[in-house]
Structure 1
Amino acid sequence: MTATEQRPATTAPDRAKGDYLHGLDLLRVFASCAVVLTHLFAWFAIHGQGFKPAVWVDETVVAALHVNRGVAFLGVATFLVVSGVVVTHVAARESPTEFLRRRVVRLLPLLWVATVMAWVLINMGFRVSGANDPALGVGDLLRGLVLGNFFQRPQIGLVGVTWTLLVQIGFYAYVAATIPVLRRKPWIPPLAAAVLVLVVVLVAGQLNWVWLYRVGVLIGYLPLLCIGQLVSLVHSRRVSPVVGTAIAAVHFLIVVWLDKLSWYFQGDAVPRTVLLVVLATVLVVSMSGPFLRSGFVRGWAKRTYAIYLVHLMAMYPVFDLLMPHLNRTLVVVLGVVWVAVLSELLHRFVEMPADRAVRRWERRRRERRTADRAG
């Protein structure tokens, strides 16, 4: 995996507008917990060790919902659908250039720092994924900084969860290109996206081009973001519930079709997981209240992108170093605490400064334009 937006979910709508979707913060918190738990449980599975919480989750949550073992893909699916909702929500009031600039600033600085951290840890002999990665060169680092590592042979993971960023970046580019249409005929872009997915997948399946096949695999996740887009459009009453549901059903059928083709690598419960996530999103998107508005939920939601990027490189080295010597429950607690600490540091000293810098630049630009017009 991942997972995300991921944030997974990226930019929050301007709270001054009074239309902040507080319910989505709860989904972000849930998604970050699901992603961390999935990879926490995976560490024990890789080492052939039992872990009672993992067994309990499989016997209760997994058995009841019929999703993948260790709730795999549940967090990633949530991040992707929520990202579709949020991105569409903010695109309604941003120009294409402003939209892309803000998405890039939210994604890249933290991605670059996390990639360098992963590269250093791997070359120090630490494991930051499910595999023991070989020593990496500067070229591997440079490719990782632009996510080109997913298209090389052999494929190098570095920050393995960042494959979902490729999906999201593709969606951001599509939204930016279709913003004028999205404002006049909002049902057209999500419907056209379904056609695009079908064409790319069919062509990728016929041509023996590795890069095109990998693009096709990634674009197979685009329907999740498009369904989130439709949730946003229906919620804002820009598309009728009937039209929105019909187009969303087309995207869901594409997911089912691709699952039948074994297109996904996220287990055998992808359609069911997507359906559950979409239903949950529809249920909570309009929710509010003191708890959802609390600083705790809002603060956690803001840090989910950092959590998503660093949780593997935070947990796995701690587990590998300490698990043979200390109580496993204590080591798990230490690993999760280190995830929280590292995420907080990166959010405060990388994410927030980058966001403030671009907004200062935008404010100065608006002031100069206003002064030019006044002069």
Structure 2
Amino acid sequence: METSPPSAHAKSRIVFLDYLRIFAFVSVLVGHKFGTYLVPLSNDPTVHSSVRTLASWVLPLVTGGGVGVVVFFLVSGYIITHVLQSEATTEFLVKRAFRIYPLYFVAVLMEYTIIALYGSPVSVGALIAQLLLIGDLFNTPPALAGVEWTLRVEVVFYLIMAAARAGGLMTHARRWLPLAFTLLIVLAAVTDPVPNTGSFTHGYLTIYGPFLFVGAMFYLYQTRTTTLSWLLLISAIALVQYYRLIPPLHPVWAAADFVAPALAIFWAAWFFRDYLGDARIVRLLSDLTYSVYLFHNWFFESIKVWLSAFGVNVLPPDVQALIVLLLFCYAVVRLVERPAIRLGRKAYSALSRRRAGRQESSPVSPKPDRAANASLQTP
């Protein structure tokens, strides 16, 4: 939640994205930590058929957390394109850094500390590469029990979009964005999967990166910057790329379909966006998205071990761990994530004031005629 008044906050908040964020983190959390309950439940003849049917419907939406991850990318593509309509390149990069890295640092350093206490942590050099999200350049395995790979893909997308903003593709040349997105996806399609520095990467950027562009296209279509044809074309190219590369690179997921359900869910939420109401609980759960994503896959098991060691057996172990995880994530949102976001705004404001001061103090050769003409042309 922001610190602005409720009325101003409600106007600035894109509510349908809150619902999608909630679905995404629930899908990933259930898929990673509770999916094993759904498989036997969907096939248990001693359970009522309606329960088995419900479990079989839910299972494809949470298996491996894949649908949730694709929804994450679609949401990110949409919101980053929206943000860059008003934020210049430097402002965007500064605020994104403070939005992503501080809480991420906390999560990675906590994981590193726990592994160091109970096992063999990665080297300091590998830890630094993980912290900076540049591990693909050094064949460094992802942190946070593997989920770090999505953030590596996100950072590449941020840099591409920041370059697009700097090159005017977010302002006066927006009509060229769909073509630029298409060329990038096609370039990835005709080259080796990226990254290709080790077996752990499996071409994640090439497979999943295009869906960030699809999310961006939704925003461009909504704001009438592009056409439905362009949106459908880029969505089709991304789908083909996914279906082409999943079997050879991820044969274990060849029988699953993450993208069709994700696109259907995003389309539905976007189409009915004016009917999705804002609510305090929706904002609260949406604000937990990033922290739950960072901590769930590795911290969940540690919580279970610690609760068992202290003899806490009030509820089933997984339920207890889930409650503690959510409370912990709420705490780090309040103590780390929100203050870091505010600090990012202050850092950019300070940087802007410093730049303005340098410009005012720098000598400028007077050009009276041009200055007068410019002042007359200013609306």
Aligned match of 2:130 in 119, 144, 164? 144
| Unpaired stretches in structure 2, ≥5 consecutive residues | 1-6, 362-379
Aligned match of 1:305 in 290, 294, 308? 290
- 1:354 is aligned to 2:340: yes
- 1:210 is aligned to 2:177: no
SS at match of 1:67: helix
2:114 maps to amino acid: L
Q: How far, CA to CA, are the matches of 2:142 and 2:225 in structure 1?
A: 42
Q: How far, CA to CA, are the matches of 1:65 and 1:186 in structure 2?
A: 39
- 1:113 is aligned to 2:106: yes
- 1:330 is aligned to 2:323: no
| Unpaired stretches in structure 1, ≥5 consecutive residues | 1-13, 126-132
CA displacement, residues 284-322 of structure 1 (integer Å, 9 cap, x when unaligned):
444443xxx222211221221111101123311233455
Matches within 5 A, 1:160-239: 160-179=146-165, 180-204=168-192, 210=197, 214=201, 216-239=203-226
229-238 vs 135-144, greater mean Cα deviation: 135-144
Q: How far, CA to CA, are the matches of 1:342 and 1:310 in structure 2?
A: 9
- 1:345 is aligned to 2:338: no
Q: How far, CA to CA, are the matches of 2:179 and 2:200 in structure 1?
A: 23
Cα contact 2:25–2:292 (8 A) shared by 1: yes
CA displacement, residues 246-268 of structure 1 (integer Å, 9 cap, x when unaligned):
33333333223333544587553
**Structure 1 residues 181, 69: CA separation in 2 closer, same or farther (over 3 Å shift)?**
closer
Cα contact 2:142–2:148 (8 A) shared by 1: no
- 1:279 is aligned to 2:264: no
Counterpart in 2 of 1:22?
A: 15
318-327 vs 168-177, greater mean Cα deviation: 318-327
SS at match of 2:174: coil
Cα contact 2:169–2:176 (8 A) shared by 1: yes
Q: How far, CA to CA, are the matches of 1:172 and 1:282 in structure 2?
A: 22
**Structure 1 residues 225, 287: CA separation in 2 closer, same or farther (over 3 Å shift)?**
farther
**Structure 1 residues 286, 223: CA separation in 2 closer, same or farther (over 3 Å shift)?**
farther
**Structure 1 residues 228, 51: CA separation in 2 closer, same or farther (over 3 Å shift)?**
same
1:341 maps to amino acid: L
Counterpart in 2 of 1:270?
A: 258
**Structure 1 residues 17, 141: CA separation in 2 closer, same or farther (over 3 Å shift)?**
same
**Structure 1 residues 15, 83: CA separation in 2 closer, same or farther (over 3 Å shift)?**
farther
Q: How far, CA to CA, are the matches of 1:36 and 1:253 in structure 2?
A: 27
Q: How many angstroms does 1:107 deviate by?
A: 0.5
Aligned match of 1:82 in 55, 63, 75? 75
TM-score (norm 1): 0.78
SS at match of 2:13: coil
1:335 maps to amino acid: A
Cα contact 2:93–2:162 (8 A) shared by 1: yes
Q: How many angstroms does 1:89 deviate by?
A: 0.8
- 1:243 is aligned to 2:244: no
- Equivalent pairs counted in the alignment come to 347
Counterpart in 1 of 2:65?
A: 72
**Structure 1 residues 41, 238: CA separation in 2 closer, same or farther (over 3 Å shift)?**
same
Q: How many angstroms does 1:98 deviate by?
A: 1.0
**Structure 1 residues 314, 260: CA separation in 2 closer, same or farther (over 3 Å shift)?**
closer
1:226 maps to amino acid: F
2:181 maps to amino acid: A
Counterpart in 2 of 1:8?
A: none
Q: How many angstroms does 1:223 deviate by?
A: 1.4
Counterpart in 2 of 1:5?
A: none
Aligned match of 1:315 in 300, 313, 326? 300
Q: How many angstroms does 1:74 deviate by?
A: 1.8
CA displacement, residues 260-279 of structure 1 (integer Å, 9 cap, x when unaligned):
54458755313433333332
What root-mean-square deviation, in Å, do the aligned CA atoms of Structure 1 and Structure 2 show? 3.7
Aligned match of 1:104 in 97, 103, 118? 97
TM-score (norm 2): 0.77
Of the two structures, which has the highest relative contact order with CA contacts closer than 8 Å and spacing of 6 or more? 1
Q: How far, CA to CA, are the matches of 1:239 and 1:312 in structure 2?
A: 38
CA displacement, residues 35-74 of structure 1 (integer Å, 9 cap, x when unaligned):
11111125x58xxx98759979994456347836636312
1:249 maps to amino acid: A
CA displacement, residues 200-251 of structure 1 (integer Å, 9 cap, x when unaligned):
343225x996369948432321111111111111122222333333333333
Q: How far, CA to CA, are the matches of 1:54 and 1:142 in structure 2?
A: 45
